[in-house]
Chain A
Amino acid sequence: MSTGLRYKSKLATPGEPSDIDKQYVGFATLPNQVHRKSVKKGFDFTLMVAGESGLGKSTLVHSLFLTDLYKDRKLLSAEERISQTVEILKHTVDIEEKGVKLKLTIVDTPGFGDAVNNTECWKPITDYVDQQFEQYFRDESGLNRKNIQDNRVHCCLYFISPFGHGLRPVDVGFMKALHEKVNIVPLIAKADCLVPSEIRKLKERIREEIDKFGIHVYQFPECDSDEDEDFKQQDRELKVNIPSPSFPQESAPFAVIGSNTVVEAKGQRVRGRLYPWGIVEVENQAHCDFVKLRNMLIRTHMHDLKDVTCDVHYENYRAHCIQQMTSKLTQDSRMESPIPILPLPTPDAETEKLIRMKDEELRRMQEMLQRMKQQMQDQ
């Protein structure tokens, strides 16, 4: 973990010792204090995994966090899945590394895309995400805010099937329903069925289709100039200038392979899959993008994912919620609000309607004027 190394305190250029004492104030130690406090407080992270069953979601989570979250998981047979509905399952574990505690919650969505009729199968998932936002909203607006539990979903890993030619309708539907609520990171699952040229083609295809359908996936942020060289290098690897409006990274979507087993390869014990024709190493960058995904998700951008969730998605939800509530309140003053609402200077529905009508009329008038001018010019 290089988080500690990023916040190097930069001392003033050393001159005479007395100069240092005179010039040095000491607030350069702030990052270290932040570091200490955060270690004491501990972190939490909620990760959602979604995709059709059989794409290796649980295996990948196992490989990412090196813990077995699913004990005695019951898989349904095909018959039972014909008309299955989507469930939401939460698994929470507390893991610790070098004194840093992480409360990791994995939200699983078994049954997604499994039934024969999958219309609106993403609805339970959007409802869940909204529910978490609402819960946080109430807690935040409550009187006692000491122990707020943040259950909001910080990141959603969406698994795309590698057996097709690109995105399927159910993929598009899911991503469009959730891209404004949660950070979506699309992944190509089971990438060991694709040769490198096919992987490239599929990634391009998926990037094109994501642009075409207007889906907003998670963007990696720009790095600051005083970050580490390593970090910058890695970031550069993650993004290469390719002319594509919403997807600057070349590696994304990541083509990943997961494995629960450790195999022996070239005298080393590695995590991988054993085939008659060779051994796929999960952590080999030439074989798949698992390492890139892990670095991005855990080692560098975990906190940014949380920030984007708090600053962007949650704020959108909150503003939307408040607007709805105030418009309802002005219509029906008997409704009690669960949170204290300050009278906002939002215009009520009536005047808004009038304003809109007047705008329409104005526009029509202008158009007519234009047309008349045109006619006059032609003559």
Chain B
Amino acid sequence: MAATDLERFSNAEPEPRSLSLGGHVGFDSLPDQLVSKSVTQGFSFNILCVGETGIGKSTLMNTLFNTTFETEEASHHEACVRLRPQTYDLQESNVQLKLTIVDAVGFGDQINKDESYRPIVDYIDAQFENYLQEELKIRRSLFDYHDTRIHVCLYFITPTGHSLKSLDLVTMKKLDSKVNIIPIIAKADTISKSELHKFKIKIMGELVSNGVQIYQFPTDDEAVAEINAVMNAHLPFAVVGSTEEVKVGNKLVRARQYPWGVVQVENENHCDFVKLREMLIRVNMEDLREQTHSRHYELYRRCKLEEMGFQDSDGDSQPFSLQETYEAKRKEFLSELQRKEEEMRQMFVNKVKETELELKEKERELHEKFEHLKRVHQEEKRKVEEKRRELEEETNAFNRRKAAVEALQSQALHATSQQPLRKDKDKKNRSDIGAQQPGMSLSSSKVMMTKASVEPLNCSSWWPAIQCCSCLVRDATWREGFL
């Protein structure tokens, strides 16, 4: 079945016949139309400059574009590499160019340069990502979009004269699949001709043996094939940059003045600046842009979409459309979401149950405890009651005994002193009735006499009584005298 399908497919589109024209039609102006359109649109070009601090990146940019881009000198003590993009609008004849120069500030300064390449790679990827997002939008405006993808990376090599530095090798390997790299030997006025030749060979050898793919000028277009091939042999270009003008002969040229001579920037004998300018700007700028779009960007896009799970063709080799794939992905994603939600809900319910059980357990325990305590409390109360009763009984017993003892006492007292008690009662009566009489004292004295068992004195009053008192009389004289 598949074979006949293919046949039908090929039969539907036969090989186009080439015809010759009878006269001038005019579609040879198509390139001109394209050109005028692109001129009105304006061009944009993005250069990334990577190299050690102070190696001459800004000076070279100034020299290349014959203007002064305002940049401040970078310090050597940056903590990490950061990228500084700056956009300028240039115009030459009637062609507008939106030039973006991205500087890798702080590259090569840190003591530990293991992660130096990462900010650069991240920046390049970010630009690709932005373009990809714009491309995938529903309402997109690609013709208006300011393309920030890096079209060329100028890698500045330090002119040690020996070989590449280890950092250079590591960084270029990371960048060669993402951007067009053109290596440049900077500050080339420090290397003599013979040393330069050896240096170039060494560098290219190292790049090739480590599999680093630098940008090769295209040799498929006949118009520029020859010059490009020649230039390819001169890579890497040894350049000198300068914005100062020195009088040489009777002209002012851009040059560097040394005590031993003058290095002219635009003298092909002195350095490869002219070659670089030719290649980079005058001949291959458009090719660089195209390569970035068709090779590097497409590679990025493919990797990114594959990551997301898209595929170009099914097992039956039927081309998938992006839309279907998108729908499928979306459904998958939603079902995944639902599943996850279910899971979470399950988990939640389980957890709730668990917690409930736990709470019940605790409640029961508390209840038990409460009961237990209550019982204990009752016990205690009962005991206390008992004790109280005992105490009461004892108190009662004690009271009774006390009463009994008192009664006994009072009885005893009664028996021994009954009369005095009665006389007292009479006396009490008499005194109550009549006035007080001296006889009272007599009676009382009588009591006393009775108790003391002495003879009562027969005296009318007490004074003679005292006088007569035997115990007071010592001799008769006193008695006689008195009587």
Shortest Cβ distance from B223 into chain A, in angstroms? 32
Q: CB distance A164 to B164 under 8 Å?
A: no
Q: Judge whether A277 is part of the interface by a CB distance below 8 angstroms.
A: yes
Contacts of B260 on A, CB cut-off 8 Å?
A: 275, 277-281, 287
Residue of B nearest to A59 (CB): B161
Known: A78-B206, A79-B206. A165 touches B160 (CB 8 A): no
Q: Which residue of B has the minimal Cβ distance to A78?
A: B164
A52 partner residues in chain B, CB cutoff 8 A? 160
| Residues 348-385 of B at the A interface (beta carbon under 8 Å) | none
B170 close to chain A: CB less than 8 A: yes
Contacts of A193 in B (CB 8 A): 159, 187, 189-190
Contact of A170 among B73, B111, B162 (CB under 8 A): B111
Query: Do A277 and B261 form a contact, CB below 8 Å, given A75-B162, A75-B163, A78-B206?
Result: yes
Whether a CB of chain A sits under 8 angstroms from the CB of B311 is no
A163 and B258 contacting across the interface, CB-CB below 8 Å: no
Task: Give complex CA distance A190, B164 in Å.
Answer: 17
Question: Which chain B residues in 185-218 approach chain A with CB under 8 Å?
Answer: 186-187, 189-190, 192-193, 206, 209-210
* Complexed CA–CA distance, A273 and B192 (Å): 7
Distance from A197 Cβ to chain B, minimum over Cβ atoms (Å): 9
Q: B270 at the A/B interface (Cβ < 8 Å)?
A: yes
Pick the contact of B77 from A82, A169, A190 — CB < 8 Å? A169
B257 at the interface (CB under 8 A from A): yes
Which single residue of chain B is at the shortest CB-CB distance from A165?
A: B54
CB of B62 within 8 Å of the partner chain: no
The answer to whether A165 touches B192, judged by C-beta atoms less than 8 angstroms apart, is: no
Check B166–A287 contact: CB distance below 8 A: no
Q: How far is the CA of A280 from the CA of B210 in the complex (A)?
A: 36
Contact with A along B67-100 (1 / 0, CB 8 A): 0000001111100000000000000000000000
Asked if residues B160 and A77 are in contact (CB atoms below 8 Å), the reply is no
The answer to whether A119 touches B163, judged by C-beta atoms less than 8 angstroms apart, is no
Q: 1/0 contact trace for A171-206 toward B, CB 8 Å? A: 001000000000000000010110110000000000
CB-nearest residue of chain B to A193:
B190
Judge if B264 is at the interface, Cβ distance under 8 Å: yes
Q: CB-CB < 8 A to A77: which residues of B?
A: 163, 206
* Contact pick for A165, options B76, B164, B186, CB 8 Å: B76
Q: Could you say which residues of chain A place their CB within 8 Å of the CB of B162?
A: 53-54, 75
B348 CB to closest chain A CB, in angstroms? 49
B230 interface residue, CB < 8 Å from A? no
The answer to whether B54 and A278 touch across the interface, beta carbons within 8 angstroms, is no
Give residues of chain A (288-321) contacting chain B, Cβ–Cβ below 8 Å: none
Residues on B with C-beta less than 8 A from A238 are none
8 Å CB contact of B166 from A82, A121, A166: A82
B53: which of A118, A165, A279 is its contact (CB, 8 Å)?
A: A165
B210 & A79 in contact (Cβ 8 Å cutoff): yes
Query: For the complex, is B129 an interface residue (Cβ under 8 Å from A)?
Result: no
| Chain A residues numbered 95-136 whose CB sits less than 8 Å from any CB in chain B | 114-119, 121
Q: Given A78-B166, A82-B166, A163-B52 in contact, is the A276-B193 Cβ separation under 8 Å? A: yes
Q: B166–A115 contact, CB under 8 A?
A: yes
B225 interface contact, C-beta 8 A: no
Which of A53, A119, A163, A170 counts the most chain B CB atoms within 10 A? A163
Evaluate whether A278 and B167 lie within 8 angstroms (CB atoms) in the complex, with A164-B76, A173-B111 already known: no
For A75, the closest partner residue in chain B by CB is: B162
Q: How far is the CA of A52 from the CA of B108 in the complex (A)?
A: 13
**A167 beta carbon closer than 8 Å to chain B:** yes
Q: Is A55's CB within 8 Å of the partner chain B?
A: yes
| Given A52-B160, A54-B161, A168-B53, 20 other A-B residues pairs in contact with their CB atoms under 8 A | A78-B164, A82-B166, A82-B169, A117-B113, A119-B112, A161-B158, A162-B190, A163-B158, A163-B187, A169-B76, A169-B77, A169-B111, A170-B111, A190-B190, A195-B256, A276-B269, A276-B270, A277-B260, A277-B264, A281-B260
**26 A–B pairs (Cβ distance < 8 Å), ordered by A:** A53-B160, A54-B165, A75-B162, A78-B166, A79-B210, A81-B166, A114-B165, A116-B114, A116-B170, A118-B112, A163-B52, A163-B158, A163-B159, A163-B187, A164-B53, A164-B76, A165-B53, A165-B74, A167-B76, A169-B111, A192-B258, A274-B192, A275-B260, A277-B261, A278-B262, A287-B259
8 shortest A-B CB distances, which residue pairs? A54-B160, A278-B261, A193-B190, A164-B54, A277-B261, A278-B260, A78-B164, A82-B166
A contact residues vs B (CB 8 Å cutoff): 52-55, 75, 77-79, 81-84, 114-119, 121, 161-170, 173, 190, 192-193, 195-196, 273-281, 284, 286-287
